[in-house]
Every structure is written in structure tokens, then in C-alpha cells.
Amino acid sequence: MSERIFGAFLLLLSVGGIFVGWDLKAPISYEPVGPRAFPLLVFSLLGVCALGLILTRREATEWAPSPVLLRVGAMFLTVLAYALLFDKLGFVISTALMSVPLARFFGGTWRQAMLAGAGLGVLLFLFFDRLLDVVLPVGYWLKPLLG
Amino acid sequence: MEILSHLLDGFAVAGTPTNLLICLIGAFLGTIIGMLPGLGPINGVAILLPIAYAMRLPPESALILLAAVYSGCEFGGRISAILINVPGDAGAVMTTLDGYPMAKNGLAGPALSISAVASFTGAIVATVGIVAFAPLLANWALAFGPAEYFALMVLALSCLGGLVGDSLLKAMVGVLIGLMIACVGIDANSGVYRFTFDLLHLSDGIPFIVVVIGLFAVSELMLMLQSHHGSTTPVEVTGRTMFNMQEFALAKWTILRSSVVGFFVGVLPGAGASIASAMTYSMERRMAGKDHCFGEGDVRGVAAPEAANNASAYGSLIPMLTLGVPGSGTTAVMIGALTLYNITPGPTLFQDQPGIVWGLIASLAICSVMLVLMNIPLVKLFVKFLQIPNWVLVPGVAAVSMVGVYAVHGTTFDLIVGTLLGGFGYLLRVMNFPMAPFILGFVLGDMMEQNLRRALSISNGELNILFSSPISIGLWVAAIAMLLGPRLAKALEARRQGPAVI
């Protein structure tokens, strides 16, 4: 069932892609095949495959039990929040904040989670930013402190 | 003779103190990355690539680092396979079958050391193979025009479709989604914005690193959480650490045979380390006749897959270096590394950038020596890394992945796109869509379109040009055979067995 739903999603995607891609035309063209052909080819093949997914009988997908799925979803949201705040809060703080829930998901106690958060935030920052010269965001709050 | 002098030049490049150090660090990190279940060569290479770039390593050093990590992973995968019965990477799946029983019988030391020697032999055989075949293939490929290239890429993709997983349809969906993502951004030929939806950040397309880290690192962490059952304790390494002469005598031909087979399987685009190790394992099992204890701790059962997966990992560098067409997920990421440095992989690489190519090849040899020297005495140190609890490891990997994505452009936008792709990748992987076609489609998308358009420009729009030269016809035939061959064989087999059952 879930594959059929995914197939329907892909079908919508390919129809949308063809719709958007139809108007792709180069103002001045030097070549017989413009920018439109390849995307249209890809989207139409994708549409055919999507129909295949919808119409053929397939084995049911085994999803994890719902409490596990809920935790995976929560973890995804945590990482998404991390991505959003990475630049604004700076590496040290955002990493520490992200690490605590992730450590809890993977069976760490609160104490361990706090430890992991603080340790990873500071040590990885020192390692990448200071030792390896990979520039990381400092964030507004720590800026006066770390330059 | 010419090759020998090139090879010496390569050793000069790989032998500078900096590059030797990079090689050592890469090999060490690679072993750990390969060993930790959930982290494999693709994630390792994907995460380290932008960091190497941000550290402003010169291209040859960056490539040496990635190659060292790649071969380190193939060495490291066996440690967790033998000690905790969980393969550290896909190539080590078969190693668990005999490795874990050996460890249970108190033979963890010999299992680890014979597999290290097997891995080393596989790596060396494959390096020799690369030196022998890669320049020839590159020379031959110089004659390829855009039409041939287009056919070649179709061949590479259909090899994957034929070999990967259960469902051709799923592999095709993967390829097409990859091609679709590759279409986003400014069209290089006409300057038209395609599928950017007026977002400035999308005008250069979605960066390669963002896609790879999202698909492989973020979704991998989600899968790890899904299958998380607390920690496993590794079998302790006690007793002798070296194998004895008797065990070596039993395994030596196995190691050599598996290395050669593994190398050739690796050269085929699409067939990676996991197929090579599965093939050689069953081959050795059949050849052993009655006199074996495969499945209960036979040394040959450990040696065969390990020799094969290292050899095939190196072998898969051949299509990447000579044709510019990656044969596996990891080499696709390495192509991304080259393009990050504005180096176009392909047959001209051997002429334009001999320092990079031969430096890479020489570093493969140096790296294997380092790995085997490191792996046998230091195995107890490596085992300590297996005890890193997941509650430190997972946030650490998440943070380092973000650092990798951030290192490319330094924008929040990329981080978010990467995470969203990670969630999408998780759904795909739970539904059993193979990921290798996806990433190959994404890497090849741009090249395929460019070559198709160039070919059609030459012929002024006539499609015939795609099927006009003998090389391209051969490639098309091979593509169809790869796509249908395995399925026809399976269907015939089923038909032959069908009536017998009734």
C-alpha cells in the first residue's frame, strides 16, 4: 500500500515536472536539442515507472512499530531544527542542544546526554575550527568570546 | 616501461611526508568508520570530502585521503563482522558467516589476522590490475565520442538495474529521481533556469555533497535508531593473534583466486564489493567439496570474501579513472570530489593530470601496506572503538555531517535541503528502494544530458547517431543484456525446476 501511495506521489511529481518544464525554452538557440528535452524525458519515464508502482502487485512494506516510528520522526525533527539553528546559534550551542535528545533516543541517561552534548559541542568546534581550519559559525551569543 | 616511470612519479607524489601522513590518517579513520556498523565507505568518504576541501588540501592529497578512507573501510568492516556478528559495511556481510563462529571458538585472533592478510592480498592484486589495465582502457576510451559516452552511461545504469536488489522498477525509480535532481539549476548550454522556482540558492543546482550526506548520513542515523537494541558486546580477542602455517596453507589459493575474481567483478560498473564477496564465498564453498566446515568457522570462509571485497573496491576505481563513469556509490562520491576541484574525470585524466592519477594508484599500494601493518598488531586498540556508545556516536556523526554540508557553501539552506533529503532517503530505504542507482543517476545526470545534446548537435538532431558506431552498438547491446540477462536466467531456472517439482 505504501508503495502505491509513493507511486501516486511520484506520478504527481512527474506531471508537475512536465508542467513546469514545458515552458523551458532558450531565448536564442544554437543547438537542435534545447534545455527542455532531457528533463521532459526524465519526468515522463518517471511517470511511467510511477504507474508501474501503482498498478503492479507488490509486497507490503514493513514499517517499524509506531512507537519506534514516532521516535525516528522526533529525531528527524531534531536534526531539522539543528539545521535551522546551526548558523544562528553557532556550532557549539546548537550541537549541544541537538546532542541531548539524540543521546536520549539512543539510550543515554540524562547525565550522559548532557555530557555528550557539552563535550561534542566544544571538542568538535576546537577540532574543526581551530585545528583543521574548517570555518564554523560562532553564533551571535558566543561571538564576543570566540571572535 | 612508460608505465613504470609513471608509477615511479606516482610514488614520488604519494611519498611526500604530507601525503604519507594523510594516507596514514585516512587509513586509520577508514578502519574505524568501516568497523562501526551503520557507517560505511560512502558515508565516510562523503563526510570527509567537504572537510578535505575546506582544509584546502590540494586535489591529489584530497583524493589520497578519500582513497585511504575507502580502503580502510574495507579493512575495518571485517572487525565488527568477526567480533560482534554485525557487518561493518556491505562488503563484510559474508565475513560474518564464518568469522563470528571462529571468534566464538576462541579463534578471533587468527580470523582477524588471516582476513587482514586476505584483504591485503586483494588490495595488492587489484592495484597491479589497475596499473596493467587502466592505461589501456583509458587509451581505448579516448576514441569515444559523445554518442558512445551516452551509451556507456546507459550501460552503467543498466548494470545497476540488472544486479541491484530485487526490483528493476525500484532501481529505475531510483535512477530517475537521481536524474531529476540533477536537472535542477542553470542549464549550462543555454543559461535557462530549470526548476529553481526563483530560489537563488538553487541556481547552481543542489550540491553533490548535500545530496550524498542527506541520503547516506542522515537517513542512516534514522535507520540506526529504528534498529537500535541497546549495545552489543564484542567477543574478546584472546589467545594467539596470528594464524598458523596450517591455516595459511589452507587459505592461500582461496585468497589468490578470490582476489582475482573480486577485481574483475569490481571493474564491472554497478557490481560492487557485496556482490564480489558473495560470489567468491559460494564459489569457494562449492570448490571445497566435502572437506570443509563452512558456516561453522572455516578460515577460507573468512579469507574469500575479504580478499574479494578489497579487490573489487579497488577494481571499481578503474571505470571511474578511465571512463569518468563511477562503478559504485563510493566512487560516485569520489567523482564528486574531482568535480569539486574542477577536474573532469575521464580518459584524458591520464594525460592531463598524471600526477593525480598515478599518485592515487601509488597511494593505494602504500595504503594497503600501512593497513595490514596497522591492523594485525593494533587490533585490540581498534576493538576499543567498537565500545563507543551510540549516545555519543550518533550525535557526533550528525554534527560532523552538518559540518561537511556547511563547509561547501556555508548556508542554512543547504543544511535544510540535506536534512529533508535524509528524511526522504529514510522513507525510500524502508520501502527497499536501492540507493546506489539514485546516487549514480544524480552523478551521471549532467554528463548524460551534455553528451546526448552534443551528440545530437553533431548529427543535427538525427537520433541515428546514437546507434551508428560499432562501439556504441556494442554498448547498447551490452546494456540490454545486463538489464535482461540476470532476469532471463532466473526465469529459465525457475522453468526448468518448475516441472520437476510437480
pLDDT score for B382 = 84
**Among B192, B406, B448, beta carbon nearest to A86:** B406
pLDDT per position as a tens digit, B94-112: 888 888 888 888 888 888 8
Asked if residue A7 and residue A36 are part of one domain, the reply reads yes
Asked if residue A44 and residue A15 are part of one domain, the reply reads yes
Is A94 among the domain residues? yes
User: Phi and psi for A79 in degrees, rounded to 5?
Assistant: -65, -35
Q: Are residues A55 and A11 in contact, defined by beta-carbon separation less than 8 angstroms?
A: no
pLDDT score for A146 = 66
Residues of A in contact with B176 (CB under 8 A): 42, 45-46, 49
User: Phi and psi for B381 in degrees, rounded to 5?
Assistant: -65, -45
- Domain closes at, from A35, A55, A75: A55
The domain of A48 spans 2-55
The span from the CA of B309 to the CA of B315, in Å, is 10
Neighbouring CB atoms inside 10 A of A109's CB total: 11
pLDDT score for B68 = 92
For chain A, say whether B487 makes contact (Cβ under 8 Å).
no
Segment A113-135 shows an average pLDDT of 88
Q: Which residues contact B11 (CB under 8 A, 6 or more apart)?
A: B362, B366
Yes or no, beta carbons of B389 and A135 under 8 Å apart: no
Asked if residue A73 and residue A44 are part of one domain, the reply reads no
Yes or no, beta carbons of B180 and A42 under 8 Å apart: yes
**Among B390, B396, B456, beta carbon nearest to A120:** B396
Residue B21 CA: distances (Å) to CA of B15, B37, B68, B355, B401: 9, 26, 11, 18, 23
Q: Are residues A34 and A24 in contact, defined by beta-carbon separation less than 8 angstroms?
A: yes
As given in the structure block, the three cell numbers for residue B199 are 530560489
Cα–Cα–Cα angle for B82, B88, B94, nearest 5°?
Answer: 60
Looking up cell 569539486 gives: B340
Segment B254-274 shows an average pLDDT of 83
User: pLDDT class for B74, splitting at 50, 70, 90?
Assistant: confident
B108-141 and B59-84 helices, crossing angle to 10°: 140
Residues of A in contact with B412 (CB under 8 A): 83-84, 86-88
Residues of B in contact with A45 (CB under 8 A): 172, 176
Asked if residue A78 and residue A42 are part of one domain, the reply reads no
Is A60 among the domain residues? no
Q: What is residue B184's three-state secondary structure? A: coil
Cα four-point dihedral sign B466, B469, B472, B478: positive
Cα four-point dihedral sign B3, B5, B11, B14: negative
- Domain closes at, from A55, A83, A100: A55
What is the residue type of A107? G
Residue B138 CA: distances (Å) to CA of A1, B257, B261, B347, B348: 47, 26, 22, 5, 7
Asked if residue A40 and residue A92 are part of one domain, the reply reads no
pLDDT higher for B123 or B193? B123
Asked if residue A71 and residue A31 are part of one domain, the reply reads no
Asked if residue A74 and residue A8 are part of one domain, the reply reads no
Asked if residue A94 and residue A132 are part of one domain, the reply reads yes
The three-state DSSP-derived secondary structure of B380-423 is: HHHHHHHCCCHHHHHHHHHHHHHHHHHHHHCCHHHHHHHHHHHH
What is the residue type of B52? A
Cα four-point dihedral sign B176, B63, B405, A118: positive
For chain B, say whether A76 makes contact (Cβ under 8 Å).
yes
Yes or no, beta carbons of A120 and B392 under 8 Å apart: yes
pLDDT score for B502 = 39
Is A30 among the domain residues? yes
Is A29 among the domain residues? yes
Is A106 among the domain residues? yes
As given in the structure block, the three cell numbers for residue B254 are 582461496
Yes or no, beta carbons of A76 and B403 under 8 Å apart: no
Chain A residue whose CA is closest to B225? A72
- Domain closes at, from A36, A55, A74: A55
Which residues of A, range 103-122, sit inside 8 Å of B by Cβ? 103-108, 112-113, 116-117, 119-121
pLDDT per position as a tens digit, A6-61: 999 999 999 998 888 888 777 777 777 778 888 899 999 999 999 988 888 777 77
Asked if residue A71 and residue A51 are part of one domain, the reply reads no
pLDDT score for B232 = 65
Neighbouring CB atoms inside 10 A of B21's CB total: 11
For chain A, say whether B431 makes contact (Cβ under 8 Å).
yes
Segment B327-332 shows an average pLDDT of 79
Is A61 among the domain residues? no
Ordered by start, the domain boundaries in chain B are: 2-230+239-490
Among candidates A75, A53, A55, which has minimal Cα distance to A64? A75
pLDDT score for A113 = 92
pLDDT per position as a tens digit, B399-448: 988 988 888 888 889 999 999 999 999 999 888 888 878 888 888 888 88
Question: What is the number of domains present in chain A?
Answer: 2
What is the residue type of B434? P
ipTM of this complex > 0.85?
Answer: yes
Of all residues in chain B, the percent with pLDDT exceeding 70 is 96
